[in-house]
Each structure stands twice: as structure tokens, then as C-alpha cells.
Amino acid sequence: MAAMDLTLDEAAKLLATEQERHKLARLVDPEECRELSVSGGACAYGQPCHAVWGSEHRCSNCTSFRSCHTARKTKKQERQGNQLYEITSQPVRLHAADGTTVQASLEFIDWREATAEELAAIPQKNNENATFLSEHDALTGLYNKDGFAHAVRQALAADAAAAYTMISINLRQFHMINDLYSIERGNAILVTVALAIRAKLPGGACAGRMFGDHFVIFTPTRDGLDERLEKFLQQAPVVDIDGERLPLHLHAGVYAIEDRNLPVAVMIDRADMARKEIENDYNITSARYTQKLWDKARDQQWMVNHFAEAMERGEFHIYLQPQFDRDVRLSAAEVLVRWIQADGTVISPGRFIPCFEASGQVAQLDRFVWEQAVRQLKAWEGTPFEKLALSINVSPKDFLYLDVASVLTELIAQYELPIEKLRVEITESAVVSKSQMVDSIVDVGFHVEIDDFGKGYSSLNTLRSIHAKTLKLDMFFLRSSDQGEARGRIIIDHVIQMGKELGMSIVAEGVETEAQKSHLLAAGCDSLQGFLFSPPIPVDAFEKKYGK
């Protein structure tokens, strides 16, 4: 049952009814651990709700806390001496006349003499001390960050010879569950995952919830650990939300602890590092930390730290890769960026682009590249390159930090250029996930090109819903067709035909062989780009090579 919405008067009447049916019925605010009274259209706080147990602290297994945070009725049994207590917590939202809403729980408590079997099966309730509560997560009952670190350090100190492993577990796309179904449903799923983890913990292991959907496990390293972990991940729970069965997808990173003197937080970070390597690959559920991952992380951190300095020093340069029409005449060029340090060392875009996308610095870099491209177009006025169009790339992350349409429009206006001189390449994945923002770029008049079409994400809905003018076939599409696979050539032919019928021009990028060139031209491709013609080159080399 979901949370009930009640006015204060309705709550008072319901509480009076339930007090006749149960030995104890009350309203509590589990966040503040206080009883609530409602009368005369007013709500007032009373004594601590845990006082009924003779305790000075919050209960470790508080059903009312869990019911409010999961929007579900929650039940439990607890024993004090020979008395067996049955507690039911029903989440409610109390609405005052002034519009104030209070999250609360309607709590029913009944008790009776425990049977002999219940005395043996149900442990005595402990009135936990403040230390216990400070080290445990109130929602799931697992260790919190501090409690987990304390437990791990104790285990490591107790047995200096034992081998241990740290495991980091996350739910894939958990934020979407919160967005689609509500935070309360998301919390209920976190409780379900925590119960599944606790049920599978081997002896000597402990588990914690760091934050959100980030769970960690510290376990002795024993034979078959990888197989047991894989089985657990593959058999993740399936939850029911309003009659819809939702399978949960878990993925994990594994770090075999080698240096016991590392901080526990660093051990977790290393397991996280391995997990993040596979977080977007649903075909892989777990990965192990290696030195290579550490080297990669250190390299990425160096680039993040030196980004601002590199910008100030002018170490980022635009390169141009030409595009040619069917008669192999220069028709346009794509603007790319290269990082060349003061000593001449070139840092590959394959290294720094993903790094800056992860750090958010890609928006600043792309904004710089866009302006460099517009300035170059302005500089070409009155030269043989005056009619040439340039294509710039827009990262999906740019939409998080910039109003892309406004920035591009302002640049065109600032440098007084025709809007058709600047083309905008957007990856197909960004076209799908940021469709409204892409529409805004189309609406202001920019020539939009769908980039990387065919790179494992192809969706006909992309072509149906976005009014792009150009379709760029991805180089991987071409390479697959060049391996003696007739299927690849058939797909390329039909994609080109489909794009044509939609009124789009077709650019093939990554063309490397004469055979590819011949096939693409025969299939009706409008423009070609790739190393067969030219790699990306500096602007001055481009001007020298194609100035005639």
C-alpha cells in the first residue's frame, strides 16, 4: 500500500478508529523520532517515539523510517523478554490547512506472550547504543560509510595473514528508476538489493551502503569468489512496480586488496574504478582492478589538472579534415581539435576528449573550438576558401553546460557570417537523448549533421524525428563492409538510399581504400572524408594544400 494522503482532521479520526483495534496506535515522525498528535486541525510533536521501548536512541530496524522512505507498509516482529511485539507502519502524508505537508507513519503495535518456538527463533530486542546507530544506514540496515571503514579496519587488524577482496556494486541507470517511478520506489529497490546482498554474505564478510545505489562488500578471498559474484549479479532481483516487472541490472568492480595500509576509501575507489570501466556495457557484469586502470586514472587526473593551464598557453589547436564531392573536389571540412604541448608532445584526442567529457571541461573546450572555427571562416572571406563550409562537433555533455543554440547563434552574429557557413555535427546518441535541444539548433537555421550513424546505436526513429540535413556514415560501418561481408554492403546501400529519400545528403567518413570509395560513389554517396584523401591537418597546411 502506498502512502496515504490525509488532512489533519482525517488523520485524527483514523487514529481514533485504529486505537480501538490495536493495543497501541500512534503517529510518528521517523526523521525526528517523535510522536505526533493531531487535534483541532493542528499537529504537535510529543515524546521520542523510541521511549516506548525504554530506549534513548533510534531503533536500528525502524519500520516507520523505512515505510516513509519507501512509501510501503512495513511489518516486523520483535521480542522483549517473553513478550512478542508485532509492529506495522503505514506511511502517510499529513496536509495542514496552510499547505504544509508532514511525512509521517501511522504505527500499530500489538503484543502477546511468545510461544516456546518464538522465544527460540526471535532474538531479544537490543536497545542499541549511539555508536551502533552512527555506523549503520537507517534505510537498509547495512553499514554506512564510517561504520564500514571501521569494520574493515578491524577485520584487517584481526588477521594479518588472510587475503581480502573489496567489491563495489551499483545499479545500472538507477537515477532513471527514481525519475520514472519516484524516490520512494527507488528506496524500496535499495532495500531489496540490500536484503539480497546480506543474504549472500559469506562468513567474515561485511557490507555497506556508501550513498545512493552504491553498495560495497568486504569479503575474505576464497576459491570460487568470482563465480559466486557473477551468479549473484546475474540473478539480481526482479521487482514489481504497479504490476510491471522490472529486472534490476547490477554491475560490480573487484579489487584484490594487496596493500592493507591503504585507506579503506582508496580500496573502495579502486573497486569503483574497475566498475566504472563497464558501467555502459550491459554484456559485462563485473571487472577487476588492474595497474593499467590506475595508470589511466592518474593520466586522466593529470589532464584535468592541466586543462586550464593548457588553454592559457594556447596548446589546443584546430585541425581540418577535408570532405570531397563526387568529383573529388573540396566541398567542406570538419573541424577537429589537437592538444600540442609546448615541447611538441601531442596528446591524442582519444585520451583527452573522453576525459574532459567526464570532468565537464569539454564544454569550455568545445566553446573555444567553435569560436576558432568561426574566426577561421571570417578570415577566409575574400580568399579561395570563401565559399567553404566548416563542420563543428557538439558533445552530448555540451548540452548540460551550455545553451548550444544560443552560443552558436551569438558567434555567427558576432563575426557577421552567413549561418549556412557553419555546420553542426551531433552524434546520433545525442540526437536521441537531447532531441529537444537538437531541435532548437535546427529551428534557428543551422545545418545539422547526424554523426557516427551506424556506431551501434542506429535508430530509425532518429531519422524520423530529427530534421537533420546530412547523415554521416561511421567509419566502423565501412570497415565491417570491407571484410568480405556482403551484408555490410547491402546495409550501407540501403542506408544511403533511405537518407536520400528523406532529402538528406550523405557523407561517408573514415574512407581508407579505393574499393570503399568506388562502392560508396556507386551507392550514391554525396561526399567522402577519410585518410584515403587526407588526415586532419593544421590550418596553414590545409590552406597551402588546397589554396589553388
pLDDT tens digits for range 183-239: 888 888 999 999 999 999 999 999 999 999 999 999 999 999 999 999 999 988 888
Between 280 and 215, where is the model more confident? 215
Mean pLDDT of 436-453: 87
67 or 414: which leads in pLDDT: 414
pLDDT digits (tens, 9 = 90+) for 295-334: 888 899 999 999 999 999 999 999 999 999 999 999 999 9
Sequence-distant (6+) residues with CB within 8 A of 500 are 506, 524
pLDDT the model gives residue 92: 92
pLDDT at 365: 97
- Find where cell 526523521 sits: 31
Task: State the alpha helices, DSSP H only, in 251-348.
Answer: 264-276, 291-313
| pTM (whole model) above 0.85 | no
In angstroms, the CA 76 to CA 68 distance is 15
Q: Residue 252: beta bridge partners?
A: 169, 286
Please, which contacts does 377-380 make with residues 24 or more away whose CB atoms are closer than 8 Å? 377/415, 377/417, 377/421, 377/422, 378/415, 378/416, 378/417
Sign of CA pseudo-dihedral 300, 303, 305, 311: negative
> What is the edge-to-edge ordering of all strands in the sheet holding 164-171?
206-211, 214-220, 164-171, 250-256, 286-288
Mean pLDDT of 110-117: 92
pLDDT above 70: percentage of residues in the chain: 93
Predicted pLDDT at 459: 57
Whole-number Å distance between alpha carbons of 508 and 525: 7
Residues in CB range of 110: below 8 A, 6 or more apart: 22, 23, 24, 85, 86
Pairing of strands 101-113, 527-529: unpaired
Whether 430 has a pLDDT exceeding 70, the answer reads no
Residues contacting residue 374 through CB under 8 Å, at least 6 positions apart: 411, 412, 414, 415, 417, 422
Helices (H) and strands (E) in the chain, counts: 21, 24
- What pLDDT band is residue 485 in, cutting at 50, 70 and 90? low
Give exposure, 227-257, as e/b (b: 16+ Cβ within 10 Å): eebeebbeebeebeeeeeebebebbbbbbeb
Q: Which pLDDT does position 327 carry in this prediction?
A: 92
Q: Quick check: 483 pLDDT over 60?
A: no
Which is nearest to 313 in space by CA: 353, 346, 352, 340?
340
Q: What is the mean pLDDT of residues 281-293?
A: 89
**CA–CA dist 179, 20 (Å, integer):** 40
Distance (Å, rounded) from C-alpha 524 to C-alpha 546?
Answer: 25
Helical pair 174-181 and 183-200, crossing angle rounded to 10 deg: 140
Residue 157: the pLDDT is 87
Per cent of the chain over pLDDT 90 is 54
Q: How confident is the model at residue 50 (pLDDT cuts 50, 70, 90)?
A: confident
pLDDT band at 246 (very low <50, low <70, confident <90, very high): confident
Place of cell 499537529: 43
What pLDDT digit, counting tens, does each position of 393-429 carry? 999 889 989 999 999 999 999 999 999 999 999 887 6
Q: Does position 484 have pLDDT exceeding 60, yes or no?
A: no
Q: Which of 80-84, 124-128, 215-219, 317-321 has the lowest mean pLDDT?
A: 124-128
Place of cell 542506408: 495
Of 458, 447, 426, nearest in space to 503 by CA = 447
Least trusted range by pLDDT, from 413-417, 467-471, 484-488: 484-488
